[in-house]
């Protein structure tokens, strides 16, 4: 039989989630791991999205790892190239390069019920065996193109915002921009000055608030470099403000009316034409869709070379684009800013669980996991930025770091249980967690605000956003509650795995304290117990291979 590389942990993806997982593994003293990356470099969505104007709408001092503060951010909202460079530096500083397997796209990963490990086949023909898989492929990795009839008849250039064709010169061209999401509102002001004519196909107007972007001066950077606590304080302030906003989104959406007035005032300042203002004014509660931040979007729309078609792209007839309302537009190029496969994560089709079912089949009625991480039927497998871990108003890096705490504890628990064991999320625990999340979701602006968004799946269930503060999620993922898992052990002979230890009852509410748990059922040959929880990592120092071996 062929010998395959066998590792303790395989991390899939090398964006913020995958690199963060890799750093955390090394800090936990685990060096027997690989990071499988389908592209030729690290960076995830910040590598793939190179469209003009691409930047983060979360302030940089919050949109970075707590263990890798960066005093050198050039702007309050830094651009894609700086975020990508930051991730490259993280890979270097924390000794992640030796673990990287670039150009290793996962074709399929299967749980082997006999050997009790994951067998991962990559598109380049290699096979890697891993005891544990940490899937960090992210929700924004696979571009979504709408199925527009006649698109294949278009003679011009067509590309997606996340696959920008830099070889195509837009200068003087008639460009159709499809969509008005976070990507499109950055692209529009960036390309408007050089295109001949820009036609924006707006299916739903977004709420747009001003973005207080500015350069961070030398003195400010010097201060953060020489007195690091000032950077920490800045991060803390940015975090605290956003935490205070959460209850408006989750409990009191009517209170968001005031924010709508600010957004409308910003629009009125930039757009003098009442007809255009009417087209651009949303009819749903602010926050229902992601609130977009830009101080240049509305001014760009007011320019004479821009048209807004208040209707979606419905059909293409050669070089004529037809909107749902019948408006016809001639174009040389179409740019799709139509988002990503979020609620139908393509990686789920490639994960095959204990009974041969794929994760996509398991998630057919909607994505569901335990604490955003694990899924019933998929032992020793977890995901970073899984179901209901998204945020409407703060930094996803905070959520990722919470999930890394959970991952670290999961691996500690497995170590205590010994070789040949796996933790399998109990279906009742998964259901309980999701029921409680959905219960909390009922009052939120995402569910009640009167819009349709990619936060909701095709069944109208919100499987993407976390209905609480980041502190709530930090508490809910501090450690693994073994009551929520079956501890299964590899069979001595060829037979399905048997449950050797199981705790019944007891689970924590989302963001809440543990509910009363029943005593663990007596286990014949295993005694699962929580291992002491390590303190979270503090401010970082460079980590080298030698330092953590």
- Decide: residue 414, CB within 10 A, 0-12 exposed, 13-18 middle, 19+ buried: buried
Residue 366, token pair as written in the block: 């909607």
Q: Is 454 in the site for ligand NAP (CB under 6 A)?
A: yes
Of 22, 56, 208, 376, the one binding ligand NAP by CB under 6 A: 56
Minimal distance, residue 155 CB to ligand NAP, in Å: 20
Q: Is 140 in the site for ligand NAP (CB under 6 A)?
A: yes
- What CA–CA distance (Å, rounded) separates 413 from 422? 10
Contact between 392 and 403 under an 8 Å Cβ cutoff? The reply is no
Q: Is 146 in the site for ligand NAP (CB under 6 A)?
A: yes
Q: Is 184 in the site for ligand NAP (CB under 6 A)?
A: yes
As a residue count, the chain comes to: 549
Which parts of 383-442 interact with ligand NAP (CB under 6 A)? none
Q: Is 372 in the site for ligand NAP (CB under 6 A)?
A: no
Q: Is 312 in the site for ligand NAP (CB under 6 A)?
A: yes
Residue 297, token pair as written in the block: 């979007």
Which run of H or of E encompasses 208?
A: strand 208-209
Binding mask 58-87 for ligand NAP (x = CB under 6 A): x-----------------------------
User: Given the rule CB under 6 A, which of 177-185, 227-235, 249-257, 398-406 is the region that contacts ligand NAP?
Assistant: 177-185
Minimal distance, residue 83 CB to ligand NAP, in Å: 9
**Which has the closest alpha carbon to 134: 411, 356, 549, 420?**
411
Torsion of CA 259, 313, 49, 71, to 10 degrees: -10
**Which has the closest alpha carbon to 107: 87, 121, 92?**
121
Residue 122 or 338 with smaller CB distance to ligand NAP: 338
DSSP string covering 46-69: HHH---TT-B-SS-TTTSS-TTS-
- What CA–CA distance (Å, rounded) separates 178 from 476? 39
Minimal distance, residue 151 CB to ligand NAP, in Å: 10
- What CA–CA distance (Å, rounded) separates 91 from 20? 9
User: Given the rule CB under 6 A, which of 26-34, 332-340, 361-369, 535-543 is the region that contacts ligand NAP?
Assistant: 332-340
- Decide: residue 408, CB within 10 A, 0-12 exposed, 13-18 middle, 19+ buried: buried
Match 């749980």 to its residue by tokens: 111
Cα angle 454, 457, 459 (rounded to 5 degrees) comes to: 145
Of 33, 65, 67, 201, the one binding ligand NAP by CB under 6 A: 201
Minimal distance, residue 8 CB to ligand NAP, in Å: 32
Minimal distance, residue 247 CB to ligand NAP, in Å: 21
Residue 67 or 340 with smaller CB distance to ligand NAP: 340
- What CA–CA distance (Å, rounded) separates 412 from 417? 9
Residue 70 or 161 with smaller CB distance to ligand NAP: 161
User: Given the rule CB under 6 A, which of 3-11, 29-37, 199-207, 513-521 is the region that contacts ligand NAP?
Assistant: 199-207
Of 180, 296, 405, 438, the one binding ligand NAP by CB under 6 A: 180
Residue 399, token pair as written in the block: 């959520």
Q: Is 445 in the site for ligand NAP (CB under 6 A)?
A: no
Minimal distance, residue 406 CB to ligand NAP, in Å: 22
Match 């990795």 to its residue by tokens: 141
- What CA–CA distance (Å, rounded) separates 309 from 311? 5
Residue 290 or 350 with smaller CB distance to ligand NAP: 290
# residues near ligand NAP by CB under 6 A:
24
Q: Is 239 in the site for ligand NAP (CB under 6 A)?
A: no
DSSP assignment letter at 479: S
Minimal distance, residue 233 CB to ligand NAP, in Å: 23
Residues in contact with ligand NAP by CB under 6 A are 56-58, 140, 146, 161, 178-184, 201, 203-204, 290, 312-313, 337-340, 454
């Amino acid at each position: 039989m062929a010998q395959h590389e066998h590792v303790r942990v395989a991390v899939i993806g090398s964006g913020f989630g995958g690199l963060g997982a890799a750093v955390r593994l090394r800090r936990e003293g685990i060096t027997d791991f690989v990071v499988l990356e389908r592209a030729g470099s690290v960076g995830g969505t910040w590598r793939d999205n190179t469209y003009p104007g691409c930047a983060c709408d979360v302030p940089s001092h919050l949109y970075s790892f707590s263990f890798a503060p960066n005093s050198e951010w050039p702007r309050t909202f830094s651009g894609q190239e700086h975020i990508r460079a930051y991730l490259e530096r993280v890979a270097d500083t924390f000794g992640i390069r030796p673990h990287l397997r670039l150009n290793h796209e996962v074709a399929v990963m299967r749980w082997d019920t006999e050997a009790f490990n994951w067998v991962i086949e990559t598109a380049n023909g290699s096979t890697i065996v891993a005891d544990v898989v940490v899937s960090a492929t992210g929700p924004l990795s696979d571009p979504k193109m709408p199925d527009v009839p006649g698109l294949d008849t278009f003679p011009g250039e067509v590309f997606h915002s996340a696959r920008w064709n830099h070889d195509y010169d837009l200068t003087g061209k008639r460009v159709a921009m499809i969509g008005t999401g976070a990507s499109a509102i950055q692209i529009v002001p960036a390309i408007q000055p050089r295109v001949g004519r820009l036609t924006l196909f707006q299916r739903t107007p977004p709420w747009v608030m001003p973005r207080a972007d500015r350069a961070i001066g030398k003195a400010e950077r010097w201060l953060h470099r020489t007195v690091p606590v000032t950077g920490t304080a800045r991060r803390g302030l940015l975090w605290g403000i956003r935490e205070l906003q959460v209850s408006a989104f989750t409990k009191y959406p009517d209170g968001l009316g005031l924010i709508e007035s600010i957004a409308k005032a910003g629009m009125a300042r930039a757009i003098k034409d009442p007809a255009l203002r009417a087209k651009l004014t949303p009819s749903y509660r602010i926050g229902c869709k992601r609130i977009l931040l830009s101080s240049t979007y509305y001014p760009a729309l007011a320019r004479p070379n821009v048209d807004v078609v208040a209707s979606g792209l419905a059909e293409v007839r050669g070089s004529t684009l037809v909107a749902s309302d019948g408006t016809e537009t001639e174009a040389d190029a179409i740019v799709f800013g139509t988002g990503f496969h979020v609620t139908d994560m393509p990686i789920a089709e490639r994960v095959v669980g204990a009974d041969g079912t794929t994760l996509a089949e398991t998630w057919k009625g909607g994505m569901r996991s335990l604490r955003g991480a694990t899924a019933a039927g998929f032992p020793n497998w977890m995901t970073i930025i899984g179901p209901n871990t998204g945020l409407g108003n703060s930094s996803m890096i905070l959520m990722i770091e919470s999930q890394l705490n959970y991952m670290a504890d999961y691996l500690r628990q497995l170590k205590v249980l010994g070789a040949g064991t796996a933790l399998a999320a109990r279906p009742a625990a998964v259901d309980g967690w999701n029921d409680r999340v959905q219960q909390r979701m009922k009052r939120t602006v995402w569910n009640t605000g009167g819009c349709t968004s990619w936060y909701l799946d095709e069944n109208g269930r919100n499987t993407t956003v976390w209905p609480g503060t980041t502190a709530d999620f930090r508490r809910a993922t501090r450690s693994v509650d073994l009551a929520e898992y079956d501890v299964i052990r590899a069979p001595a002979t060829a037979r399905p795995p048997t449950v050797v230890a199981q705790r019944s009852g007891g689970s924590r509410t989302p963001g809440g304290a543990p509910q009363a748990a029943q005593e663990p059922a007596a286990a014949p040959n295993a005694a699962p117990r929580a291992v002491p929880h390590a303190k979270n990592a503090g401010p970082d120092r460079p980590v080298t291979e030698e330092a953590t071996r």
